[in-house]
Amino acid sequence: MANRNILAEYDAAYTGRLVKRIRKHMDLTVEQLAFMVGCSRNHMYSIERGAVKPSLETVMNLAKALDISVDELLYPNAGNFESQKISDGEQLKKRIMMVLDMYDTSDQK
């Protein structure tokens, strides 16, 4: 069976718009999200602009950081972020900050 790239046929512009919308909803900066995902700020900007196809690892890290499924992140009809409500925005923000605090920025490349 041939190995095929599961990201070959997805809409990078859709993914970028969704990432940016959720990031802003979570009150995160590009730098904070990039740190959570494990990529550079410039790469995150490129993802949000739809200029690049992120690696599968980056997609999985993005989905985890944004608390959505990989399917929702890649495919427009998989979920509806607009209809989802975060019951306690402050609790979510504390959880994100706790994760960020777990990492020492001196370990960054």
DSSP 8-class letter at 10: S
- As averages over each run of 10 residues, the pLDDT of the chain (109 residues) reads 50 90 94 96 96 89 92 72 47 61 50
Q: Are 20 and 48 in contact (CB under 8 A)?
A: yes
The domain limits of the chain are 12-76+87-102
CATH superfamily for 12-76+87-102 is lambda repressor-like DNA-binding domains (1.10.260.40)
59, 74 Cβ separation under 8 angstroms:
yes
Provide the pLDDT for residue 100.
61
Burial class (CB in 10 A: 0-12, 13-18, 19+), 108: exposed
The confidence score (pLDDT) of residue 12 equals 86
Q: What is the pLDDT of residue 76?
A: 74
What is the per-residue pLDDT for 56? Answer: 85
The pLDDT assigned to 50 comes to: 92
At 63 the pLDDT is 93
pLDDT score for 45: 97
